[in-house]
Structure 1
């Protein structure tokens, strides 16, 4: 078959064809199924973040408080550095857990609460920098991070 024959057959084809039935209901159903399938990958991220938060909380509850004897005048500075390092490590773990939710849509009604918790965490870290030997500030930072993660998880499941 040469090119001329192909062109002739192509011209003989009908210009328009009507489908045998209405296709829009099937398209809408397929789009709904596709959007439902896209929600499940977030569940994996939520499970990962919940596991990290649970491991962090268990480690905090189970780990005994370090007992450091006061033998020299340098001991308070050493304890302050330990608390600062612990706050830094906690912040890194928290940020890693939040990265699991990057790109996830957050309802507008929860954004003010998330901002308040983020501001509180910044203020607590600033207070730890000024008063690094305060276990109470470290405890408050831990609570703030836990609340922020819990609110983020709730935002993604609702």
Structure 2
């Protein structure tokens, strides 16, 4: 076989080829046979009542827990300049909170902690440029927090 014949046969492969007989009757019988064998799945209508019952149960539990948490007394009395009134945040001085807004106490506490940790890490690794970048970002976050406090106050 020469190169010319190979190229001619390859060109002939690009042309559409019609099957020798009609394929659709065989396909149609297979589809009908598969539909007759496959059972139709039963429609489940039980899911909606169960979902509604679960939703009501979750709402009831959430309501009971919220009432129980509201009635729970505060374990430590608030001292002026020491606590912010937010649960779980103690020891933040009111003069460190931007604008004396107790809602910003949590963010102030996190930023102070991050700044202290970054300064300690810089003492251990003074050539770490990425720590300086993180410290700069922390200062930028503190400035943003102070702007928010000034707008709120």
Shorter-chain TM range is 0.3 to 0.5
Rg larger for:
2
The TM-score with structure 1 as length reference comes to 0.34
The TM-score with structure 2 as length reference comes to 0.35
